[in-house]
Amino acid sequence: MKRIVSRFMKAAVPLIAVLFAGISATAYCAGGSPPDAGFQTAAAAAPVESNPPADQTFYFTIRRPQADWQPLTGSVKFRYYLRHTYGPESTLFILAGSGINQARDAVPEWGQGMEGYGKRLASAYGRRAVRNSIQHGLGALLHEDPRYFSSGQTGIWGRSLYAAGRVFVAQKDDGGIRPAYSRFIGAFGASYISRQWHPESYHTPEDYIASGAATIGFDMVRNVLYEFWPDIKKKLRF
């Protein structure tokens, strides 16, 4: 148990720091103004909802699509999956993340130099492909909408809590919601599978749990960025 907590904290502390830094940085950019109507994420392949009604569920507001909202077709979902997995934005993120892991000497057994970086890059790309294939494939079978739906709220902390809370629910094609089964199965499934090409010392339940939890943490950070990105773009004027 101590080892689980130790590994989780090593993964979670940097994520929490990034999350709070991002929230603080966006306070100036957002200024509490409402997000653009019809907000679309950078990787979305079709328009998302605009100004939908809201239901209060625990601490988070669940946005439901309006009557004129249309679910994604199967072909659009497949293009969404390809872009999120193999597109330029995903590739740049993996390249940068592999560089950070190289600097941290993550998995020391892989060494340094170009050979070490190549192993970390291949591992990160493989993990992303496995995770997204599981999540998007299962999401398509469960008729889930993969897009991020902005809150339509004002205020930094309320919107941040909403964005973080969205990792626990999935929007269905009929406008309803359900627990985010595909996200968690994808995150922890990819954690287990990707550990099989790591050195033997990483094949432990503690590593599987900590790695999957870190993936969910990254999803929270990403959602906060999606939530405030329209305000940041407006402030920076690009």
Q: What is the pLDDT of residue 149?
A: 86
Q: pTM for the whole thing?
A: 0.71
Residue 155: what pLDDT?
86
Question: How are strands ordered across the β-sheet holding 177-179?
Answer: 144-145, 169-172, 177-179
CB 216, CB 187: distance < 8 Å: yes
- CB distance 152 to 63 below 8 Å: yes
Beta-strand pair 54-57/144-145 = unpaired
DSSP line for 184-206: HHHHHHHHHHHHTTS-GGG-SHH
| In the chain, domain spans | 2-236
**What would the two tokens of residue 121 be?**
């890059």
pLDDT value at position 232?
87
Q: What is the pLDDT of residues 31-63, one digit of tens each?
A: 433 333 333 333 333 333 333 434 434 334 455
* pLDDT the model gives residue 150: 86
Residues 60/162, Cβ–Cβ less than 8 Å = yes
Q: Is the dihedral of CA 190, 192, 193, 197 positive or negative?
A: positive
What does the pLDDT read at residue 68?
56
Q: Which residues of the chain have pLDDT under 50?
A: 1-61
- Contact at 8 Å (CB) between 220 and 19? yes
